[in-house]
Amino acid sequence: MVAAEDPESFFATAPPLRDAGAVTATVQEFIARNSHPSEGGGLRRIVCVTSGGTTVPLEQRCVRYIDNFSSGHRGAASTEYFLKAGYAVIFVHRRGSCQPYCRFLPDDSFLKFFDVNAESKVQVAESHAAIVEKAIGEYCKAIEGGSLLKLPFTTIFEYLQLLKMVAASMSSVGLHGMFYLAAAVSDFYVPWDSMAKHKIQSAGGPLDMRLSQVPKMLSVLRNQWAPLAFCISFKLETDSDILVQKADMALNKYKMNIVVANLLATYKEEVIIVTNDERNTIRRCHKDEDLEEHIIKLLEESHSKYIYSRTNGCNKNDYEKLISFDIKSLA
Amino acid sequence: MVAAEDPESFFATAPPLRDAGAVTATVQEFIARNSHPSEGGGLRRIVCVTSGGTTVPLEQRCVRYIDNFSSGHRGAASTEYFLKAGYAVIFVHRRGSCQPYCRFLPDDSFLKFFDVNAESKVQVAESHAAIVEKAIGEYCKAIEGGSLLKLPFTTIFEYLQLLKMVAASMSSVGLHGMFYLAAAVSDFYVPWDSMAKHKIQSAGGPLDMRLSQVPKMLSVLRNQWAPLAFCISFKLETDSDILVQKADMALNKYKMNIVVANLLATYKEEVIIVTNDERNTIRRCHKDEDLEEHIIKLLEESHSKYIYSRTNGCNKNDYEKLISFDIKSLA
C-alpha cells in the first residue's frame, strides 16, 4: 500500500481527469479573454471560487463513497457578488450543488414551477413567475457576458486536479488573481491503488477501514501553484470552542491572506474574518440579507490593497494595518 | 458502544423521522384514496418504489457521510411504467435523485432549457421545447391524477423508518401491494449513539473507522411488515462472477418473490430476473428502449398470478410454474 500523503504521489496515483486537454483549453481561453484592462484602467481581476463537497470513493468501480456535506450555497451566492463587483469567475463546483442565481429555487423547481397550458405549451406558474424570471434572466446575462465559467467535479481526485490546472492557468494574472476556497474538501481518502477493485461485500460482520490523510494542498497552492494570488480559505467546524484556533492555524500554516471561519449551525448568519492581526465577526442583520454581500465587499477592498501594496512595495505591516482597518469599519 | 445490528435497537437508537405524524397521514390518505376497485373490477394495486442511495452519517452534527452510488434512474423509469400499467405509486426516493419524467433532462436543465425573451418573459428554448413539454406535461398529469406520491429521504435512518411506515400503511391492501426495492441501501453504518458528536479532526494521521452492519431489513419487511405483499428486491454488483449467486441467496434468505440482478457496468442494458426456479436475462434491443418497460410488464403479470394463486389457493409449485412460464416467453 502506497501511503500517498504527499502531493506528488497523490497526483501520480490519481485517476486522470477526463477531457483534461479540452478543459484546460477552455480555462486558458476564458482567462485570456477576461484579463484585459478593466474600465477603471487596471487589469481585470479573476477569482476561482470553489464550492460544494468532494467525494472519496471507497471502491474503484465505485458504489460507495464518503461525501462531505455542503449545499454549495455559500459559493453560489459569493459568485453572484463577485460578478457584480466586476470579477470574472471560474466556478469550480460539485456536480448538482447549488448554482449561482438558483439559490432561491427548491430542488425540483423544474417540476414545481412550470405547467402546461391549453395549447400544450409550457409556461411558468403564475405564483413563481417573478423568482424564475429573475434567476434565468441574471444567469443568462452572466453566461452571455462571458464572465462566468463553470467547471464541475465530484471526487477529491477531480477537484484537486482541476484546482491545480486552474492555478497554473491563472498564474498569468499574478496579483490580480484570487482563490476563494469555499469547497468542503475531504480530509481523508483511500489512495486509488490501495482501493478495493470491486464492491466491498457485507457478509463478514463489521467493516474496518483505514483512511489516509489527503495531503494539505493549501500549502502547495500558496507556495507552488499560485504564489502571487490573493488566497482566502474557509474553516467550517461544528464545535465553537475550537473554531478560531483552527482558523488561526490555517492562516499561519498555509499562509492564507484571510481565513473565513464559520460554524455549521450558523454559517448563514455569521462568519469570523481572521487575518494575521484581527478577528472580526460579520453578522447578518435581517433574514433577507446575504452575508456574502458583506464578505465579498470586504474581500474586494482587501484585494485592492493587496495589489496596491505588493505593486508599490509597501511593507507587510502597513498592508496588514490597511486590511484590518477596513474590517473594523465594516464589522 | 451498542452493536445495534438487530432491527429493534436500530429503530430505538435512530434519530426520529421529522414530521412523522404528517407524513404518515399523507401516506394513509393516499392509500385510502387509491385502494378503490379498479376499472377491471379488482382492487387497484399500489406499489412502493424505492429509489436512489441512502447515506450513513459519520458525525451527529453531520459534515461527513458515506453515500451509496445510485442515480435513481431505474426507480424513476420504473415509476413511469407502473403508473402506465395502472398502479398507484409511492415513490420513496433520495432527495435530489432522478425523478419520474425527468430522466432525459440534464442536471441543470432549469438553467439550460429556458431563456428570457424581449418582454422579459421566460420561454422554453426552441431546441428543447419537445422534451420539456413532454416531461412537464406527463408529470403534471400523474400528480393531478393523484396516482403518484413522492416521499424523500437522505439517510439510512430516514429510509428505513419511511419503509416501515409505508409497509404498515399498505398492509390494508394485502396481496394487492407490491414492494419494488430499487434503492441502493447502505450495508454498513455507524449506530447513532456511538457516533462522533462533532466533526472528526484530521490532525492525527490516518483515520480508522469501524462500521456496523445495517440489520437485514428485507427479512423484517417480508416476515413482519408486509407478509402478504409481492416483494421484488435488487442485487447490484460490480463482479459478474458472484452476481447470480448473491441474487439466489437474497431470494432464499429474504423470501423475495423475485430478485432483479444487475451489474453496475451494464445495468441499463441487461438484468437477470431470478425466481425460485429460473434465471432469465432480459436485454435491451436498442438504445432508445427502456429496459424498465419489459421489467414492469413482467412484474405486473407475475403480480396478477400471485394474487390469483394466493386468492384461489393454488399451490406454490403451480404458482411458480405460472411465473416462470411467462418469463420464458418474454426473454
The domain over range A7-101+130-201+209-328 is classified in CATH as 1.20.950.20: no
More confident residue, A42 or B299: B299
Give me the residues paired with residue A149 across strands: A90
Grid cell of A133 as nine digits: 424570471
Pairing of strands A114-116, A122-124: antiparallel
Burial B41-50 (b: 16+ CB within 10 A, else e): eebbbbbbbb
pLDDT for residue A3: 45
Q: CA nearest A327: which of A271, A280, A289, A291? A: A280
In A, which residues are within 8 Å of B136 by CB distance?
Answer: 110-111, 114-116, 122
In chain A, the residue whose alpha carbon lies closest to the alpha carbon of B137 is A116
Query: Mean pLDDT over residues A52-66, rounded?
Result: 86
In A, which residues are within 8 Å of B132 by CB distance?
Answer: 114, 122
Comparing CB atoms, the residue among A111, A115, A121 nearest residue B99 is A111
At residue A281, the 3 state secondary structure works out as strand
Cβ–Cβ gap A137/B116 under 8 Å: yes
Question: Whole-number mean pLDDT of chain A?
Answer: 87
Share of chain A above pLDDT 90, in %: 56
Q: CA nearest B110: which of A114, A152, A37? A: A114
Cβ–Cβ gap A120/B137 under 8 Å: yes
Comparing CB atoms, the residue among B102, B207, B211 nearest residue A111 is B102
**pLDDT digits 0-9 by tens, A130-175:** 888 888 888 888 888 899 999 999 999 999 999 999 999 999 999 9
Query: What is the distance between the alpha carbons of residues A151 and A93, in angstroms, rounded to a whole number?
Result: 6
Give residues with Cβ within 8 angstroms of A195, minimum separation 6: A57, A58, A59, A60
Q: Is the pLDDT of residue A111 over 60?
A: yes
Residue A107's pLDDT band (cuts 50, 70, 90): low
Instruction: Mark residue A52 as left, alpha or beta (left: phi above 0; alpha: psi -120 to 50; beta: remaining).
Output: left
Hunting for cell 481523508 — which residue is that? A188
In B, which residues are within 8 Å of A215 by CB distance?
Answer: none
In A, which residues are within 8 Å of B198 by CB distance?
Answer: 237-239
Cβ–Cβ gap B188/A208 under 8 Å: no
Cβ–Cβ gap B68/A67 under 8 Å: no
More confident residue, A50 or B43: A50
pLDDT for residue A1: 41
In B, which residues are within 8 Å of A68 by CB distance?
Answer: 63-64
Do B280 and B328 meet the contact criterion of CB atoms below 8 Å apart?
A: yes
Cβ–Cβ gap A213/B199 under 8 Å: no
What is the distance in angstroms between the Cα of A319 and the nearest Cα belonging to chain B?
A: 31
Q: Is the pLDDT of residue A291 over 80?
A: yes
- 3-state SS, one letter per residue, for B243-256: HHHHHHHHHHHHCC
pLDDT for residue A239: 86
Cβ–Cβ gap A188/B210 under 8 Å: no
Query: What is the distance between the alpha carbons of residues B221 and B224, in angstroms, rounded to a whole number?
Result: 6
Query: What is the distance between the alpha carbons of residues B6 and B118, in angstroms, rounded to a whole number?
Result: 62
* Number of cross-chain residue pairs from A and B with Cβ atoms under 8 Å apart: 171
Q: Is the pLDDT of residue A254 over 90?
A: yes
Give residues with Cβ within 8 angstroms of A50, minimum separation 6: A75, A92, A93, A159, A163, A179, A180, A181, A182, A183, A185
Q: Is the pLDDT of residue A327 over 60?
A: no
In B, which residues are within 8 Å of A133 by CB distance?
Answer: 116, 120-122
The full length of chain B comes to 331
In chain B, the residue whose alpha carbon lies closest to the alpha carbon of A61 is B238
Cβ–Cβ gap B116/A136 under 8 Å: yes
Rg (CA), chain B: 21
pLDDT for residue A43: 82
What is the distance in angstroms between the Cα of A306 and the nearest Cα belonging to chain B?
A: 31
In chain B, the residue whose alpha carbon lies closest to the alpha carbon of A110 is B110
Give me the residues paired with residue B39 across strands: none
More confident residue, B43 or B214: B214
Cβ–Cβ gap A64/B67 under 8 Å: yes
At residue B170, the 3 state secondary structure works out as helix
Which range, of A46-50, A317-321, B46-50, averages the lowest pLDDT? A317-321
Do B12 and B191 meet the contact criterion of CB atoms below 8 Å apart?
A: no
What is the distance in angstroms between the Cα of A113 and the nearest Cα belonging to chain B?
A: 10
Residue B182 amino acid letter: A
In chain B, the residue whose alpha carbon lies closest to the alpha carbon of A142 is B111
pLDDT for residue A4: 45
In A, which residues are within 8 Å of B135 by CB distance?
Answer: 110
Residue A124's pLDDT band (cuts 50, 70, 90): confident
Comparing CB atoms, the residue among A63, A68, A111 nearest residue B69 is A63
Q: CA nearest A75: which of A303, A294, A292? A: A292
What is the distance in angstroms between the Cα of B68 and the nearest Cα belonging to chain A?
A: 5
**pLDDT digits 0-9 by tens, B233-286:** 999 888 888 999 999 999 999 999 999 999 988 988 999 999 988 888 999 988
Domain residues of chain B, as ranges? 7-101+130-201+209-328
Question: Whole-number mean pLDDT of chain B?
Answer: 87
Query: What is the distance between the alpha carbons of residues B73 and B98, in angstroms, rounded to a whole number?
Result: 6
Hunting for cell 477501514 — which residue is that? A209
Share of chain B above pLDDT 90, in %: 55
Q: Is the pLDDT of residue A262 over 90?
A: yes
pLDDT for residue A39: 64
User: What stretches of chain B show up as alpha helix (H) in DSSP?
Assistant: 7-13, 20-34, 73-84, 109-112, 129-144, 156-170, 217-220, 240-254, 291-312, 316-330
Do B117 and B123 meet the contact criterion of CB atoms below 8 Å apart?
A: yes
In B, which residues are within 8 Å of A211 by CB distance?
Answer: 206-209
Write the burial class of residue A105 (CB in 10 Å: 0-12 exposed, 13-18 middle, 19+ buried): buried
Write the burial class of residue A321 (CB in 10 Å: 0-12 exposed, 13-18 middle, 19+ buried): middle
Write the burial class of residue B322 (CB in 10 Å: 0-12 exposed, 13-18 middle, 19+ buried): middle
Q: What is the CA angle B248-B159-B210, rounded to 5?
A: 75
pLDDT for residue B24: 98
Hunting for cell 484590518 — which residue is that? A324
What is the distance in angstroms between the Cα of B97 and the nearest Cα belonging to chain A?
A: 10
Q: Which of B61, B68, B122 to mutate to test the interface with A (most CBs of A within 10 A)?
A: B122
**On the CB side of B107, how many CA atoms lie within 13 Å of its CA?**
11
Query: What is the distance between the alpha carbons of residues A33 and A182, in angstroms, rounded to a whole number?
Result: 25
**On the CB side of B108, how many CA atoms lie within 13 Å of its CA?**
19
Cβ–Cβ gap B199/A265 under 8 Å: no
Cβ–Cβ gap B206/A213 under 8 Å: yes
Which range, of A204-208, A272-276, B303-307, averages the lowest pLDDT? A204-208
User: The complex's ipTM?
Assistant: 0.79
Grid cell of B50 as nine digits: 424505492
What is the distance in angstroms between the Cα of B165 and the nearest Cα belonging to chain A?
A: 24
pTM of the predicted structure, to 2 decimals: 0.85
Do B89 and B147 meet the contact criterion of CB atoms below 8 Å apart?
A: yes
Query: What is the distance between the alpha carbons of residues B83 and B138, in angstroms, rounded to a whole number?
Result: 11
Q: Is the pLDDT of residue B49 over 80?
A: yes
Q: What is the CA angle A22-A25-A29, rounded to 5?
A: 140
